[in-house]
Amino acid sequence: MSSELQNDRLLKALLRQPVDRTPVWMMRQAGRYLPEYRATRERAGSFVKLMQNPDMACEVTLQPLERFPLDAAILFSDILTIPDAMGLGLYFVKGEGPKFERTIASARDVDALPRPDIEDELGYVPEAVRRIRKALDGRVPLIGFSGSPWTLATYMVEGGASKDFARIKGMAWEDPDSLDRLMDHLVASISDYLNAQIRAGAQAIQIFDTWGGVLTPTHYRRFSLEPMTRILENLIREQDGRRVPVILFTKGGSPWLEAMAETGCDALGLDWTVDIGEARRRVGDKVALQGNLDPAALNASPARIREAVAEILSSYGHGSGHIFNLGHGITPQIPPEHAGAMIDAVVRLSPQYHQGSG
């Protein structure tokens, strides 16, 4: 597979190498805010059918790149593919999100979990990666991803989305050894899954720890950070003669930035609750930083969006190591032109912070 990239701005910034401007992409950039995505999903018949069809997953991955001068594509998939492949029965309820037919409620349930064969049971994911890489033809790099062990476990134990995480937090307090074993299962399967994506052509990886921020500091380290660190140790970190950078993103993770920076990751994703300049001072030159515009800011006028982008660029300051992104995924009601205003502002305003570089 060719490693020739016409635009390697993202990969350079993730490794804190000089760039001509700050690269930009968006979490959920291929998604419901785009009418062309909604049309493809309608054609597919359901989200799951869309996700499991490599040609359609390729199509929607590329859609935002046709609209916007983005510096990366991100694989179109879902974080819950692994629990589904473990036999828990993923389905979606309109207005309620993902659900599982079976849940993990005991040590016996944990021990009964299989380790999925990625190319067999989840083969549609690496196949989508291969097709996307071919279709991109070196235009921009492709980001692969997974949910974190803790985040996947929350859905597996709760049976779906949760407001208070009572079941899994109860397990963390009452039966932590069973939860440790569940983490062991997930570390192994996520490592297999991400390495399959890298072998298929993913050029950077993001681990989404969506729910790490609900934990106590002690439980965060045990059930979120430590399992993610083990995944990092298992990953292929060089492919096609290039380093494969890894971004760790814990929503609500600002209390633990220094600890996250010590995991061996290349970059930290930031939500909108921390000032990016302060985060840069805290982690120094250990890692790059990604973020961190509040997704709700995209409800504002394009002029206000440009001001908000300018504030974040200014707060980070001069030099490489910043990847502009939202602090979480773009929400469905956002007008595409507002996303475009954000991206355009990064393209226009960021070169002044990279003068003499790139």
Residues annotated as part of the active site:
28, 32, 41, 78, 155
Q: Where are the alpha helices (DSSP H) in the chain?
A: 9-14, 35-44, 47-51, 54-67, 81-83, 107-111, 118-121, 124-136, 149-158, 166-174, 176-200, 217-220, 226-234, 257-261, 276-283, 302-316, 336-349
| Whether 226 contacts 149, CB under 8 Å | no
Positions at the binding site? 28-32, 78, 155, 210, 328
Transcribe 239-308 into DSSP letters.
ETTEE--EEEEETT-GGGHHHHHTSS-SEEE--TTS-HHHHHHHHTTSSEEEEEE-GGGGGS-HHHHHHH
Q: Which residues are annotated as a binding site for substrate?
A: 28-32, 78, 155, 210, 328
Q: What is the DSSP letter of 73?
A: E
Contacts of 275 (CB under 8 A, 6+ apart): 315
